[in-house]
Amino acid sequence: MTSPGARIAGHALVEALVAQGVDTAFGVPGESYLAVLDGFHEHRDRIRFIACRQEGGAAFMAEAQGKLSGRPGVCFVTRGPGATNASIGVHTAFQDSTPMVLFVGQVASDQRDREAFQELDYRQFFGPGTLGMAKWVAEIQDPHRVPEYVARAFRTAMQGRPGPVVLSLPEDMLTQTTSAPVLPRVEPVQAWPAPGSLREVRAMLLAAERPFVIAGGSGWDAEACAALQRFADNWQLPVGCAFRFQDTFDNRHPNYAGDVGIAPNPKLAARIREADLVIAIGPRLGEMTTGGYTLLQAPRPQQKLIHIHAGAEELGRVYAADLLLQASMACAAKALESLTAPPTLPWGERTAAAHADYLANFEAQAVEPLDMAVVVKTITRLAPADTVYTNGAGNFAGWMHRYIPYPGLQHHGRTQLAPTSGAMGYGVPAAVGAALLYPERTVVNIAGDGDFLMTGQELVTATGYGAGRGRGKLISIVVDNGSYGTIRMHQEREYPGRVSGSDLFNPDFAALARAYGWNAEFLDRTADFEAAFARALAADKPTLLHLELDADVSTTRTTLSAIRAAAQAKPG
């Protein structure tokens, strides 16, 4: 007879997830964690398991929910191939500083170290560390410690710089009995900046003539973003958002200067280079945000630099800043807004000019027959204000970065889901994950043709679980130029006219979507887009719009022909 409270470890694991507030987990089922799947059945009134079509898609969905909620997204995969497929989502969560927990089935304990079927050493594979894929990797060998490991995993994923945790689950451990009690919900400890450091921030602001704020990273909440806006108002500071964190600051605010990412507005890039003080609040200051470490020269920038970040290991890792502050984003902006500004400041006109440059960047030369600038502007005009936008990697995302005015987190929560890791295939699963988390909100994914086909099969996951069938809509837009466009652009720049390996041979995306149970339309003219998007917003199920784009239209600013001509004109 089992003792009171006794249950198999697989069930105890699911109970531990419920205690942490998890109501949805993603994954691809595997025989290595059947006991956990049975636990999901046992507790199906409190938590659901979303069965996906590929582990990379499942991991992306979990990562997207971690971005949206601020608490770890949860993913389950089986051993070996399941774990390696899911690693793209773990890497994305690490580089994006997203809280996430990946559970991996493992071979039975008595079969370890024999290279048993699909056996891997997950500690080595996911390699915790500053250049690894996870913050912590561990294996639960004792069923009585399941709640302990789960609680620690959630705390590690959220504490300091958020990120992914990987827990390995030996198959035989999951079927053993335990009476271990469930541990309470974990909340991250918040760190405030030291008062002395805040006085230094104020002194450096008072000594500056051309300050600039770069905000981004993870760990923000609505109150912190509202406090950041008040800080910027008090000090009349221009604010740019780090690469793919454009919803950190309201893009409609008169202090907003634009996104500091890949190929930013040239006037914005010049403004950052000319600044005499840069205050980085939250971002890692990685390669994309710093223009390959040129906007801020590494390791010692020409500008005075204040770097505020939640992770001690990040501060000083790349840049020898003038002032380093370790603080949680939920606290940092609230502390900064307490700094009293003088009655007059010398840079007010520069801040207004920075916002004017941002607005002027919305203007674009017309493109025929399909103009992506008009397409994206039409989407933002017709879609609800709280729409969540998702994308993977590719030149097509440049139109989103340039033409979507993201509202700040304080208004609708996260509205931009995009991988700073540059992971292709992210957008479709992220959209499905967002639609399942927020069924009342509209979710719009824009994907390139190469990007879409990496995870497009997850459309059927949306169909199977009813995503996009409520008040909120789910829309995926595939930009088809028959090319790996980013690679083709680099080829024309470095090896003009010598195209190799970047052509794509695509299916009928609309027919494919209809086979998955979606509405779908094909479009190749700008004039047809608005009516088609309106139909998608009114539809009773998800919609895919297949847009055919001339391959020569490379980016928001140039064409392949122009890139090739410039490269051929270079001496030598």
- pLDDT single digits (tens) 346-398: 999 999 999 999 999 999 889 999 999 999 999 999 999 999 999 999 999 99
- pLDDT tens digits for range 518-555: 999 999 999 999 999 999 999 999 999 999 999 999 99
Average pLDDT over residues 282-290: 95
Q: Which residues are bridge partners to 443 per DSSP?
A: 388, 474
Average pLDDT over residues 59-67: 98
The answer on pLDDT for 406 being more than 90 is yes
- pLDDT tens digits for range 19-28: 999 999 999 9
Type of residue at 49: F
CA gap 307, 282 in Å, rounded: 8
- Half-sphere exposure of residue 331, counting CA atoms within 13 Å on the CB side? 17
Please give the helix or strand (H or E) that residue 190 lies within, else none: none
CA gap 337, 285 in Å, rounded: 22
Total residues found in the chain within this entry: 572
Q: Is the peptide bond prior to 439 cis by the omega test (within 30 degrees of 0)?
A: no
* φ/ψ (deg, to 5) at 530: -60, -45
The answer on pLDDT for 6 being more than 60 is yes
CA gap 88, 397 in Å, rounded: 19
Predicted pLDDT at 120: 82
Q: Average per-residue pLDDT in the chain? A: 95
The answer on pLDDT for 3 being more than 70 is no
The CATH number corresponding to 372-569 among 3.30.530.20, 1.10.287.180, 3.40.50.970, 1.10.1040.10 equals: 3.40.50.970
Structure tokens at 289: 């945000």
Predicted pLDDT at 139: 97
The answer on pLDDT for 128 being more than 80 is no
Average pLDDT over residues 320-326: 97
Q: Which residues are bridge partners to 544 per DSSP?
A: 476, 520
Average pLDDT over residues 134-139: 96
Q: Model confidence at 572, in pLDDT bands (50, 70, 90)? A: low
In order of 288, 472, 515, the CA distances from 467 in angstroms are 33, 9, 16
What residues have CB less than 8 Å from 371, skipping those under 6 apart?
A: 364, 526
The alpha-helical segments, DSSP class H, found in 388-444 are: 397-403, 409-412, 427-437
Domain extents in the chain: 7-178, 195-360, 372-569
Cβ pair 451, 396 in contact under 8 A: yes
Q: Does this chain's domain 195-360 share its CATH topology with 372-569?
A: yes
Q: Which residues are bridge partners to 388 per DSSP?
A: 443
The answer on pLDDT for 4 being more than 70 is no
**What would the CATH number be for the domain defined by 7-178?**
3.40.50.970
Beta strands (DSSP E) in 28-72 are: 48-51
Predicted pLDDT at 534: 98
In CATH terms, the fold of domain 195-360 is Rossmann fold (3.40.50)
Predicted pLDDT at 131: 72
Structure tokens at 42: 């046992």
Predicted pLDDT at 2: 42
- pLDDT tens digits for range 17-53: 999 999 999 999 999 999 999 999 999 999 999 999 9
Q: Model confidence at 110, in pLDDT bands (50, 70, 90)? A: confident
Q: Model confidence at 115, in pLDDT bands (50, 70, 90)? A: confident
Predicted pLDDT at 21: 98
Using CB atoms within 10 A of its CB, is residue 69 exposed (0-12), middle (13-18) or buried (19+)?
A: middle
Token pair 């800080």 in the structure block, residue: 231
